[in-house]
Copies of this chain bind each other. A is one copy, B any other.
Amino acid sequence: MSDDQSPEPQIFETLQPADLASRVADQVLRAIGDGRLRPGEKVADARLARELGTSRAPVREGLRLLESQGLIVSHPRRGFFVHAYDADELKEVYDLRECLELHAAEAAVARMTKADCARLEAQVQKLYDLADEGQTQEQVVQDFAFHRMLCELGGNSRILRLFDQIAAELRAGIALVGQLYDDPEEIARSHDPLIKALRARDPARLRAELHEHLQDAQIHVVQLFRTGAFDLTNLDKLSDDQRNRLLR
């Protein structure tokens, strides 16, 4: 029994023999994330296969991967579609996100090192800098990154994965309206109470502050959504060429 020796250090990373299916999923994810594919839009596997230069089988498998994540919906005999939220659903997703993030953050307080805390502070500083520079689009990205760090420090990889999934879903809508936030500096500032609670290593306080922080975001976004900024489902309100770009 000489096989539980030292866990020999890895020299090379295991290289990823990525199959087409997951690469397709990746592409579609990206397309949804940056708005090339809009909520509710049809994703014809045949067409996608043509564009990607593959056969339909791996495309369909890739879409199935996204389907059980909720990003893609399939109506049998009708095809695949980018999932389109209504306001209630959006609220549920935000609620879920909050649930996960509060839990992770609480754990993070207990686990993080001084260095971790400093990284979080630096990230918030970045939000201020981007606000100064007027880079609102990038600020949204870095805002997400801050919250992702929190989840990561929580130490539950499963929760982190879910957060990433949700982030991808929300990005589909949010990134598009990055410029709709009126006051980027206010965004940055709203992270200060979180930092304070983190510094104090006070889980209950962090929980409370984060709850408020996320609640604000949810209300803001859901409200925007309700005003129709997001509502891509009733296309009649759009101009013709807008509609045409949306549907195929």
Contacts and interface: CB of A to CB of B under 8 A. Distances in A.
Given A18-B76, A76-B17, A76-B19, A96 B64 contact: no
Contacts of A19: 74, 76-77
Given A19-B76, A61-B60, A76-B17, A99 B100 contact: yes
Nearest to A78: B17
A162 interface: yes
Given A68-B66, A76-B17, A96 B61 contact: no
Given A76-B17, A76-B18, A100-B99, A158 B93 contact: yes
Interface size class of A (residues with CB under 8 A): 20 to 34
Contact of A65 (B57, B68, B76, B92): B68
B17 A77 contact: yes
A64 B21 contact: yes
Contacts of A156: 92, 95-96
A181 to B, nearest CB: 25
A67 interface: yes
Contacts of A18: 76
Contacts of A103: 95, 98-99, 102-103
Nearest to A61: B64
Best-surrounded residue of A60, A66, A156, A158 (most CB of chain B within 10 A): A158
A159 interface: yes
A93 B162 CA distance: 12
B96 A162 contact: yes
Contacts of A57: 57, 60
Interface of A: 17-19, 21, 57, 60-62, 64-70, 74, 76-77, 89, 92-93, 95-96, 98-100, 102-103, 156-159, 162
